[in-house]
């Protein structure tokens, strides 16, 4: 069984975190995903879950952009 990519088609890199705002992976993790075995993919998914928790993201949706203040 193959581990599915966490990509949700919101492919935008955050300059502050260096992570994709959609899947919370680094550029290196995204670029090398298809070359990794299931064990390494699971390790990346664990890291993604930790990043999401640290950033306070609780759903699969990407965080909303800050709203402008008048």
Rounded CA-CA distance 13/15 in Å is 6
Band of the pLDDT at 57, cuts 50, 70, 90? confident
Residue 34 has φ and ψ, to the nearest 5°, of -70, -15
Please say if the pLDDT value at position 15 is more than 70. yes
Whole-number average pLDDT of the chain: 87
Phi, psi (rounded to 5 degrees) for 26: -80, 165
pLDDT of residue 62 exceeding 70? no
């Amino acid at each position: 069984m193959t581990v599915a990519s966490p990509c949700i088609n919101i492919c935008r890199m955050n300059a502050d975190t260096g992570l994709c705002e959609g899947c919370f992976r680094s550029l290196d993790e995204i670029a090398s995903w298809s070359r990794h075995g299931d064990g390494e993919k699971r390790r990346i998914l664990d890291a993604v879950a930790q990043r999401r928790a640290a950033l306070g993201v609780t759903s699969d949706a990407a965080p909303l952009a800050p709203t402008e203040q008048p």
